[in-house]
A and B are shown apart, each in its own frame.
Chain A
Amino acid sequence: MLKHFLLLLLLISFQTVFSKVIPVGKGEQIQSIKVGIALAQPGDTLLIRSGIYREGNIRVEKSIFIQGENFPVLDGQSKFEILTIRAANVVVQGLTFLNTGMGSMDDIAAIKIIDSKNIHVIGNVLENAFFGIHFSNSTNCFVEGNTLHSESTEEQEIGNGIHLWKCQNMTIHDNKIQGHRDGIYFEFVTNSVITNNYSESNKRYGLHFMFSHNDEYRNNTFIDNGAGVAVMYTKGVKMLNNTFEHNWGSASYGLLLKEISDSDIVGNVFVKNSIGIFMEGSNRNKLQSNSFLQNGYALKLQASCDDNILERNNFQQNTFDLVTNGSLVLNKIDGNYWDRYEGYDLNRDLVGDIPYRPISMYGMIVERMPTTILLWRSFLVFLMDRAEKAIPVLTPENLKDNLPAMKPYDFN
């Protein structure tokens, strides 16, 4: 944030010294943005007065500062890609982008950035864009404080909100994305951060994240997305203090971890998801200090996951705390708080004296035969789980928390 601010300051100071401001608008000498861009020298500022501009596709291929005054509207008339940037050191700020074209072959976007460096997309409003802000093969860019909103009913009729492909050192901060296909899409994006974003009601994933090593996402909120958040085929990702809420539906997760390794999932909150975390083929990850609240399944741990550490998490009011599909469990599960734990603590060290088995027999049955969910909270299920607790038959013998916490952790 600070770095970014200084840079901005630097740019502005440069401009005041070396560059000029070119106003564009109805009452001005230059009425077209395209003409303004053509006239501008690198380092100039294009000050766009409020109004509606219908100029089709606008290309930016030099280092300029495009600044909107009172959010002028750039209308794509449902036909065009509005802004295409192929340059270094461009700032796009304070504009409204409206109604881009749609395409099944091309990724038509409100703002598309190709092979660029140091691009800042700041404080814009995007309304009914097909793709919102689309980066490919770019480095050192900032996307900050933008609001993206789209309406569509079908997943295939809409593109992603903030889409990054093959990028490095990117920062996605404080954006609000609603109604796109994926809220934020990362593919082959490394050493980047995603912070304080709010991604809601997107058709597919709130965040879709693949082959993007050594990234970090922090303090983001993902609510009510079609299938939650998917993080796949990645190493060394840090997921800290994010909130995954109310991702409900037939195949919805709070967080899908598919082939993720050496990553940290710390301090996140999973509330009211069909599945809190679904983990598949993931190894050597650390899941710590997360809260799982009122989920259908808090954690689905497939047998293909090894050497993960699950410690000091809170599990409260979930239908099932943990399920797995195998009998061999090679993960370390220790020191979590389970609200179903019925053990005792004689030495008062706040650690339960007998181990807790988080997997219930009924949970395993439902995992295999989903229709049996209808028996939830019936007398039969109650008896079955009691019997299983006494004599474990179906549930993996070694899957247990040896140091269950007596009280929930306070992570605030």
Chain B
Amino acid sequence: MTRVIKYVFYDILRTRFILFYTLFLLVCTFMLFQVDSDFGKVVLSLMNIVLMAVPLISVVFTTIHFFNSYEFIELMLAQPINRRSIFLSEYLAVASSLCLAFCIGVGLPFVIYGAWQPIASLLLTGVFLTLVFVSLAFFASVLTRDKAKAIGIALLFWFYFSLIYDGILLWVVYSFNDYPLEKLTLALIAFNPVDLARIIMLLQLDISALMGYTGAFYKNFFGSSMGILFSGVLLTTWALWPMGIAMRIFNKKDL
């Protein structure tokens, strides 16, 4: 499997997209540091990038990459290699190169500016979101043979988790406002990796937002070790299960 990963890596590096992505993040982060001397504000602006841009770039890049390496996958499948290994190699190579680009692009300016404190939660949530959306994009890719359709589905995932889901959540809360909703909203949040990542970051970075009564409830929950474990497990699940399903489909897919 490591041999296959190596070649997928080469292939990804050759397209230079990852390089541009890294540069893009570097430039953004450096610019934010230049414009604002307040690290807290920089981190909050970066949070928006992490929540919006990282998933978007992850899904688009992953889907395009998958379809561009269709030939490679075909070639590999005729070789004595397990399908699972091929799929996992693709997943790991794409996910790790995107994560690496993210960590360098966002992490490096922080290291240079010596802002160590908020970096961990920012990088961790960014990495998790990358994994989740790479996973979702692979799922979208194996659903269809049509590249345009797959990108459409992948974008739909992104749009759904970034916007539509929250709209539905708002509607639910609005409709059932007479009932105690804390636990329900908590459960609903768990079903959206973007929301989950956002809450985790907010608790680390923008505590003032969550100081009201309900805010305190969520803070107590997510701030406890139980809550950290809970969100960690959930994000891991989000990163793994679409990938798992995608792998099952891929194992039975005709090429």
Is any CB of A less than 8 Å from a CB of B in the complex? Answer: yes
With A and B bound together, what is the CA distance between A144 and B189 in angstroms?
Answer: 52
Q: Which residues of B contact A383 (CB under 8 A)?
A: 163
A371 touches B214 (CB 8 A): yes
A248 touches B211 (CB 8 A): yes
Q: Which residues of B contact A273 (CB under 8 A)?
A: 211
Q: Which residues of A contact B163 (CB under 8 A)?
A: 379-380, 383
Does residue B182 face the partner (Cβ distance < 8 Å to A)?
yes
With A and B bound together, what is the CA distance between A365 and B171 in angstroms?
Answer: 11
With A and B bound together, what is the CA distance between A365 and B48 in angstroms?
Answer: 21
Q: Which residues of B contact A252 (CB under 8 A)?
A: 211
Interface residues in B164-182 (C-beta closer than 8 Å to A)? 166-167, 169-170, 173-174, 177, 181-182
| Residue from B189, B210, B218 with most neighbouring chain A CB atoms (10 Å) | B210
Nearest A residue to B184 by beta-carbon distance?
Answer: A371
Q: Which residues of A contact B167 (CB under 8 A)?
A: 380
Q: Which residues of B contact A250 (CB under 8 A)?
A: 212-213, 216
Does residue B146 face the partner (Cβ distance < 8 Å to A)?
no
Nearest B residue to A298 by beta-carbon distance?
Answer: B208
| Closest beta carbon of chain A to B50's beta carbon, Å | 11
Task: Choose from A294, A297, A365, A378 the contact partner of B212 (Cβ within 8 Å).
Answer: A297
B166 touches A380 (CB 8 A): yes
| Closest beta carbon of chain A to B31's beta carbon, Å | 19
With A and B bound together, what is the CA distance between A390 and B36 in angstroms?
Answer: 27
Does residue B108 face the partner (Cβ distance < 8 Å to A)?
no
Task: Choose from A297, A366, A368, A378 the contact partner of B166 (Cβ within 8 Å).
Answer: A378
Task: Choose from B40, B170, B210 the contact partner of A376 (Cβ within 8 Å).
Answer: B210
Q: Which residues of B contact A319 (CB under 8 A)?
A: 206, 208-209, 211
Does residue B147 face the partner (Cβ distance < 8 Å to A)?
no
Task: Choose from A248, A368, A370, A374 the contact partner of B195 (Cβ within 8 Å).
Answer: A374
Q: How many residues of B contact A (CB 8 A)?
A: 36
Interface residues in B6-54 (C-beta closer than 8 Å to A)? 40, 44, 47-48, 51-52
With A and B bound together, what is the CA distance between A318 and B210 in angstroms?
Answer: 11
With A and B bound together, what is the CA distance between A278 and B192 in angstroms?
Answer: 34
A374 touches B212 (CB 8 A): no
Q: Mark A350-378, 1 if CB is under 8 A from B, else 0.
A: 00000000000000011011111111111
Task: Choose from B40, B48, B52, B215 the contact partner of A373 (Cβ within 8 Å).
Answer: B215
| Closest beta carbon of chain B to A269's beta carbon, Å | 15
With A and B bound together, what is the CA distance between A274 and B170 in angstroms?
Answer: 23
B173 touches A369 (CB 8 A): yes
| Closest beta carbon of chain B to A325's beta carbon, Å | 14
Nearest B residue to A320 by beta-carbon distance?
Answer: B209
Q: Which residues of A contact B170 (CB under 8 A)?
A: 365, 372, 375, 380
Q: Mark A47-85, 1 if CB is under 8 A from B, else 0.
A: 000000000000000000000000000000000000000
| Closest beta carbon of chain A to B41's beta carbon, Å | 8
Does residue B199 face the partner (Cβ distance < 8 Å to A)?
yes
With A and B bound together, what is the CA distance between A91 and B214 in angstroms?
Answer: 49
With A and B bound together, what is the CA distance between A365 and B173 in angstroms?
Answer: 10
| Closest beta carbon of chain A to B101's beta carbon, Å | 22
Does residue A145 face the partner (Cβ distance < 8 Å to B)?
no
* Given contacts A248-B216, A380-B167, A380-B170, A374 and B211 within 8 Å (CB-CB): no
| Closest beta carbon of chain A to B165's beta carbon, Å | 9
With A and B bound together, what is the CA distance between A238 and B173 in angstroms?
Answer: 42
Does residue A180 face the partner (Cβ distance < 8 Å to B)?
no
B209 touches A373 (CB 8 A): yes
| Closest beta carbon of chain B to A370's beta carbon, Å | 4
| Closest beta carbon of chain A to B182's beta carbon, Å | 6
| Closest beta carbon of chain A to B48's beta carbon, Å | 7
With A and B bound together, what is the CA distance between A252 and B163 in angstroms?
Answer: 32
Nearest B residue to A249 by beta-carbon distance?
Answer: B216
* Given contacts A378-B198, A379-B51, A373 and B173 within 8 Å (CB-CB): no
Does residue A312 face the partner (Cβ distance < 8 Å to B)?
no
Task: Choose from B51, B194, B199 the contact partner of A374 (Cβ within 8 Å).
Answer: B199
